Structure 1
Amino acid sequence: MDVESKSGRSFVRARAALVAGSLGLLLAVGGCGASGDSSDGAKADVKSAPREGFADEGGAAASAASEEQADGKAAGKKAAPKPGGTHVIRTATLSVEVKSVPKAVAAARGAAEGAGGLVASENTERLDDTYETSHLVLRVPQERFQEVLRELAGSGKLLSRTSNAKDVTDQVVDVDSRISTQRASVARVRELMDQAEKISDVVALEGELSSRQSDLESLLAQQASLKDRTSLATITLDLTPPDAPGDDGSKDEDPGFLDALGGGWDAFVTMLRWIAVAFGAAFPFLLTAALAVVVWRVLRKRKASRRAAPVVTTAPAGKDGASAS
C-alpha cells in the first residue's frame, strides 16, 4: 500500500510538472510572438514616419487641391449666398428727332445726372457745316430706368425705340458662391505654406497659391462687372435735327425750273472742273510734245537751206585770155 501510494504521488507530481512545463513553453512562445509583433510594428512605424512626413510636407501642394475641393464643396453647400432679389441687366436704344441738338444733349445729361446716373460717352458731329447730330450712352440706376426713358423719348419726335432685359440672378449667385469657395481655398494654401519646412514644398505651394489667387481675381472681376451692369441700366441715345441728311422725306417732292437750272449749272461747273483737271494732268505731256515739234522744225529748216544753196564755179585764167584774143 505504501509502495502504491508513493508511486501514485510520484505520477501525480510528474504529470503536474509536465503540465507546468507545457504552460511555460506556451507562455514563452506567446511572449516571443508578441515581442516580435511589437518590434515589427515599431519598425513599421519608423519606416512609415518619413513617408508620412513627406506626404505632409512634400505632397502638400498635391493634397491641397483635393482637400480644398472637398472643403470648397462643403463650404459651397453650407455657406451658399442667398440671392438678394432678382438681378436684371437692362438696356435701351432711342432715336429722337429734336429741333436743337445742343439743347437736347444738355437735357439728356441733366436727366441722367438728376437720376443719380452719368454720361458714359458722347459723340457729336457736324454734317455739311449745317446739321449737327449726337450719340450718347447714359448709365442710370435701375429704379429710375423707366422714368428717364420716358423723359428722353418725350424730348422730341421719337423715331425708334428698343428695350431689353436679361435676368442674371443665377449667374450672380454662382459667382458669389465660387468667390467664397476660392477665398477659403487661398486661405488653406497659405496655412500649408506656414507649416511647410522644405524649400521644395514652399515653391510648389507658391505656384499653387498664385494660380488660385489668379482665379479669385478673375471671379472678383466678373462680380464687379455684374454688379455694375445690374445696378446701372444702359441707355443709348441718338439725337438728330429734322432736316438732317439721310431723311427719307423732303418738302418739295416735284422739282421746278429753279431746281432744274441749279442742277444744270452744277453739272456744267462739274464738267468744267473735270476738264481743268484733265488739262492739268495732260499739260506736262503737251508741253514736252510742243518743244519736240519746235526743235524738229528748226532742224528741218536748216537741212533744207543747206540743200537749196547754189554751187558757184570759176574758169581758169589762161583759157579766158585766149578766148578774149
Structure 2
Amino acid sequence: MRTRRSVRRPAPALAALLLAAALAVTGCSAQDDDGGSGSAADRGVAASRADDKAGSAEAAPEGAKSGAGAPAPPKVIASHIIRTASLTVQVKDVPKALEQARTGTENAGGYVGNETTTRDAEGRERTQVVLRVPVEKYDEVLAELEGTGKLLDRSAKAEDVTDQVVDVESRIKTQRASVARIRELMDRAGKLSDVVTLEGELSTRQADLEALLARQESLKDRTSLATITLSLSETPVQKETKDDDPGFVDALAGGWNAFVTMLRWLAVAFGAVLPFAAVAALIVLLWVRVVRPRLPRRPAPAPATTALGPLPTARPAPEAARPRTPDEQD
C-alpha cells in the first residue's frame, strides 16, 4: 500500500510543471510578435493592404466564397439598365413638333440635350435633338414621340450594367475604409519618415476613390435617365430603286454628258489662262514697238590691223560671165 501511494504522488507536480512551460512559451511568442522588425508606418500600411484584400474577397460573388456546403440563398438585387433609342419621324411642321417633344420631355421630368437644325435648298427644315427622360417614363415618352407624325425609322437598345454598379459600390466602400485607416495611422505617427510614407499612400488611395466615385456617378446618370435621339424632317424619304442594266440610249447620254463636261472644263481653263496671255502679249508689244527702238545700236566692228597695215576686206565675188549684147559691145 505504501508503494502505490508513493507512485501516484508525482502526477499533480508533473501537471503543474507542464502548465508553467506552456505559459512561458506563450509569453515568448507574444514578445517576439511585439518586437518585430519594421517601422509602425510600414506595419500599418501592410495591415491596411491586407484589410483591402479581405474586403475585395468579401465583395466577390457568394458562389465563389461558398465551399462544399449548402449554397447561400440568392440575394435580390435591383437591375440597372442603360436604355437608348433613336427615332426618325416625318412631320408637316418641324418647329411645332419640336416644341411638342420638348413639352412632353419636361413634363416627364427630363430635359433637352443637344439640338441641331438644318434647312435644305427648298427651305424645308430638319432637326435632330437628344432627349433625356427618366427610365420610368421612357416607354410613355417614346410612344408620344412616335405619334407626332409618320414614323420612318426606330431603333432601341438596352444594356444591363448591374454587375458594374454592384462592383463599383463595393470598391467604393472598401476604398473609403482604407482611406480612413491611413488617416488614423497618420494621427498616431511620430516620425517624419512615417508621415511622408503615409501621405503618399493616402494621396494614391484618395485618387482611386475619386475615380470610382466619378464612374459611379456616370453609371447612375446613364441608368436613371434614358437617352432618346429624335430626328424630325419635313421631306419624305425616297425609296431606293434597283437600277437596270444600261442600254444604248443611256450610254449615248452618258457620253454626251462627259463631252459637255470636258468642254466646260476646257472653257474654264481657257478663261483662267486668258488674262495672263493678254498681259504677256501686251508686254511683248511694248518691247518691240517702244523699248527696243530706243535702245542704242551696237557700232560696226573695226577691221583688224597688223604691223603692215589693215587687213584687206573681203570683196564680193564677181558675177558669172555671160555673153554681151551687141549694144554692150559698141
Which TM bucket (shorter chain)? 0.5 to 0.7
Displacement after TM superposition at 1:295 (Å): 3.6
The separation in 2 between residues aligned to 1:183 and 1:216, in whole angstroms, is: 7
TM-score (norm 2): 0.62
Displacement after TM superposition at 1:169 (Å): 1.4
Gap change, CA 1:281 and 1:99, over 3 Å in 2 = farther
Match of 2:231 in 1: 238
* Counterpart contact for 2:41–2:198, Cα < 8 Å: no
Gaps of 5+ in 1: 1-37, 250-267, 304-325
Structure 1 residue aligned with 2:176, among 176, 183, 202? 183
Alignment of 1:154-233 (within 5 A): 154-233=147-226
| Counterpart AA for 1:57 | A
Displacement after TM superposition at 1:283 (Å): 0.8
Structure 1 residue aligned with 2:114, among 121, 127, 137? 121
Give deviations 1:107-156, integer Å, cap 9, x for gaps: 11111111110001111122226122111000001111111111111111
Gap change, CA 1:215 and 1:170, over 3 Å in 2 = same
| Counterpart AA for 1:104 | A
Gap change, CA 1:302 and 1:147, over 3 Å in 2 = same
Q: Secondary structure at the match of 1:190?
A: helix
Give deviations 1:173-208, integer Å, cap 9, x for gaps: 111111111111111111111111111111111111
Gap change, CA 1:200 and 1:76, over 3 Å in 2 = farther
Gap change, CA 1:229 and 1:57, over 3 Å in 2 = closer
The separation in 2 between residues aligned to 1:68 and 1:194, in whole angstroms, is: 20
Q: Output the aligned Cα RMSD.
A: 3.8
Structure 2 residue aligned with 1:99, among 92, 100, 103? 92
Gap change, CA 1:143 and 1:195, over 3 Å in 2 = same
The separation in 1 between residues aligned to 2:58 and 2:78, in whole angstroms, is: 24
* Counterpart contact for 2:41–2:197, Cα < 8 Å: no
* Counterpart contact for 1:133–1:241, Cα < 8 Å: yes
* 1:108 matched to 2:87: no
Match of 1:290 in 2: 282
Q: Percent identity?
A: 48
TM-score (norm 1): 0.63
Structure 2 residue aligned with 1:150, among 139, 143, 147? 143
Kindly indicate which of the two structures has a greater share of residues assigned to helix.
Answer: 1
Gaps of 5+ in 2: 1-23, 63-74, 241-259, 296-330
The separation in 2 between residues aligned to 1:234 and 1:188, in whole angstroms, is: 41
Give deviations 1:47-73, integer Å, cap 9, x for gaps: 986645x44234433443223323554
Match of 2:131 in 1: 138
Gap change, CA 1:112 and 1:277, over 3 Å in 2 = farther
The separation in 1 between residues aligned to 2:275 and 2:229, in whole angstroms, is: 54
Displacement after TM superposition at 1:159 (Å): 1.1
Displacement after TM superposition at 1:77 (Å): 8.6
Gap change, CA 1:282 and 1:72, over 3 Å in 2 = same
Alignment of 1:76-95 (within 5 A): 85-95=78-88
Gap change, CA 1:301 and 1:186, over 3 Å in 2 = closer
Give deviations 1:236-278, integer Å, cap 9, x for gaps: 01111125xx8458xxxxxxxxxxxxxxxxxx9xx88984774
Displacement after TM superposition at 1:74 (Å): 4.8
- Structure showing greater radius of gyration is 1
* Counterpart contact for 1:90–1:233, Cα < 8 Å: yes
Match of 2:48 in 1: 64
Gap change, CA 1:287 and 1:75, over 3 Å in 2 = closer
The separation in 1 between residues aligned to 2:59 and 2:155, in whole angstroms, is: 42
The separation in 2 between residues aligned to 1:280 and 1:71, in whole angstroms, is: 78
The separation in 2 between residues aligned to 1:109 and 1:71, in whole angstroms, is: 46
* Counterpart contact for 1:88–1:168, Cα < 8 Å: yes
Give deviations 1:269-311, integer Å, cap 9, x for gaps: xx889847742542133222133135425689999xxxxxxxx
* Counterpart contact for 1:72–1:182, Cα < 8 Å: no
Aligned length: 241
